[in-house]
Amino acid sequence: MADELLSEKRKDVLWLTLNRPDVHNAMNAAMTDALTHAIRTASSDGSLRAVVITAAGDRSFCSGADLKESAGG
């Protein structure tokens, strides 16, 4: 999936959505990099008052690390 992390600014709030619902939003390297970048960028944006981290899908928020990726498969 190309968009592991969706970002939307709503007025003075940044909404970040973990977007891998097919694997319970397991954190892979691309998602971790995107989340790190988004939070660093948000921390220097004086117009933001809050950052909300949410997740796509209705089964779980985040299952943790993507073990298949770390195992090379």
Beta-carbon count within 10 A of 28 CB: 18
Q: What is the pLDDT of residue 1?
A: 43
Domains in the chain, ordered, with CATH? 5-67 (3.30.300.220)
pLDDT, tens digit (0-9, with 9 covering 90-100), for 8-60 = 999 999 999 999 999 999 999 999 999 999 999 999 999 999 999 999 999 99
Average the pLDDT over 52-70 and give the result: 93
What's this model's pTM, rounded to 2 decimal places?
0.89
Between the alpha carbon of residue 5 and those of residues 16, 20, 62, the distances in Å are 7, 8, 12
Residues 6+ apart with CB under 8 A from 15: 6, 7, 8, 9, 51, 52, 54
